[in-house]
Amino acid sequence: MSWQPEIDELHKREKIAYQMGGKENVNRHKSRGKMTVRERINSLLDKDSFHETGAIAGNADFDHDGELRDFQPTNVIIGRGKIDNRKVVISADDFTVRGGAGDLESMEKQVYGELMAHELKLPMVRLVDGTGGGGSVTSIDELGYAYVPVNPAWDHVVNNMGRVPVVAACLGSVAGLGAARVVASHFSVMVEDISQMFIAGPLIVKHGMGQDLTKEELGGVQVHRSSGAIDNVVKTEKDAFEHIKRFLSFLPSNVWKLPPIMESTDSPDRKEGELISIIPKNRRQPYKIRTILQMVFDKESIFEMGSHYGGDTVTGFARLDGHSVGFLANDPIVGGGGLSVKACNKIERFVDLCQTFHLPIINFVDQPGLTIGLAAEKQGLIRHGVRAISAIYQATVPMIEIILRRVYGVGGAGMINGHGLHLRYAWPSGDWGSLPIEGGLQVAYRRTLEESDNPQELLEKLASQFESFRSPLRTAAAFGIEEIIDPRDTRPLLCDWIVDAYELLPELIGPSRHTMRP
């Protein structure tokens, strides 16, 4: 007696499952320049590290003798594997089977994958290529009734955002629940030419809204580069997998672990001479913030998130002497670096991300304040600004502020919790106040200027008088700023600070006080 016949049957079904949607569907899929789901998994995970769960789940058809006549696997593949030798859970859609639309078995597998990440406290990686939902219309004929929809595993989807890193790649035409699965993540990425994402596809939009659009016009990368729904856009699927790997490399596997420390060959004492003159004397002249970041952080360690969205603020991860950190940096080239609605949303989400996984934050500040004007008021910018500032004030992770130039108004004041012991270093180019002196004089001395016989001459005299008060050295003399430093000392000081910051992190491990939302 042996169980070999049953084992043979198991392997037979596994072999069929590995053929995915069949040769014709696979060839059609690859002709569009797309990898198959199993090629994607093999490309992303460490070699031979994938352990699949539920490979033979699907729809089986048997003859009268009980012999398997046909078998169609589910269009979701789940399991555990490794990325850079660290375990992750992966859930990947197979578009070659029913175009990625869900059925009962695939829904159950999606639920199980989210549960697996939740219970094992492992990062969740979703490779999304389809709708992910069956839709009541297509199931009415089978069920005989229309069901009230429930988003499968959404309790775990939400809870995982506060427990483990969640990343998602949009790798095809993704709609409805599939789109929701992409954005319900800490990091999301789209691929040029092959990725589109929308709440409902072109046919439904045409019927419901009368808008006749192609998939690209409705939800291609040209839409989502600046929509805020997607973090990064890349050229190829392999680029997407590299972005996923880099993102995960900065984070712990769950909130009960500390961020990873990598071995660094970049000296913590490195000083870049160019920093002494990189901020122009002319306060109206911008500079390249990314050049400063590259000279301060470990070489080639910067991973930027959302570069096409809210460009007046740069956010991302980097390393200091091998330690993972998050950073915020105002970009004076885009809108003067002022806080727009998009920038505020970007800051709020990124600070919450760092807070969730206990990454110290470095804030490079050249902040003229919240964007002003009628458009800003119509957008309700003040509410978005207050939310961003509140995220910064609620953060308990170590935070340090490097004041490069301007700190003005509510927006500038909100870039760090000034009531705490968060450290601040200012460069000699520092320039601060409730309002810029140039505009503030017009407000403070309006009546005097109106009554003057020569208002322009008086204004110039006042400007000259106040200019002498503007020096950051005067502020330091009153201990209004703790330290003014030589810009070339920025990296050594930060590398010294990060060691102390990491000593504090064990006190913070575990879930944050507020769960991060997408």
DSSP string, 91-156: EEE-TTTGGG---HHHHHHHHHHHHHHHHHT--EEEEE-S-----HHHHHHHHSSPPPP--TTHHH
Residue 367 in 3-state DSSP? strand
Residues 6+ apart with CB under 8 A from 469: none
First to last CA, the chain: 55
**CA distance linking residue 113 with residue 91, whole number of Å:** 6
pLDDT computed for residue 270 by the predictor: 97
Q: How far is CA 413 from CA 35, 198, 390, 425, in A?
A: 48, 38, 12, 14
> What number of other Cβ atoms are within 10 A of residue 346's Cβ?
25
Closest CA to 253 of 45, 84, 499, 52: 84
Is residue 189 within 8 A of residue 229, CB to CB? The reply is no
pLDDT computed for residue 3 by the predictor: 94
pLDDT computed for residue 345 by the predictor: 95
pLDDT computed for residue 435 by the predictor: 64
pLDDT computed for residue 146 by the predictor: 73
pLDDT computed for residue 447 by the predictor: 81
pLDDT computed for residue 197 by the predictor: 95
pLDDT computed for residue 404 by the predictor: 97
> Which residue stretches of the chain have pLDDT < 50?
none
pLDDT computed for residue 142 by the predictor: 66
**CA distance linking residue 418 with residue 424, whole number of Å:** 9
pLDDT computed for residue 213 by the predictor: 93
**CA distance linking residue 501 with residue 487, whole number of Å:** 21
Residue 353 in 3-state DSSP? helix
The amino acid that residue 387 corresponds to is R
Return the axis-axis angle of helices 455-467 and 437-444, rounded to nearest 10°.
130
Residue 346 in 3-state DSSP? helix
Closest CA to 230 of 173, 290, 186: 186
Strand-strand pairing, 68-73 and 58-62: antiparallel
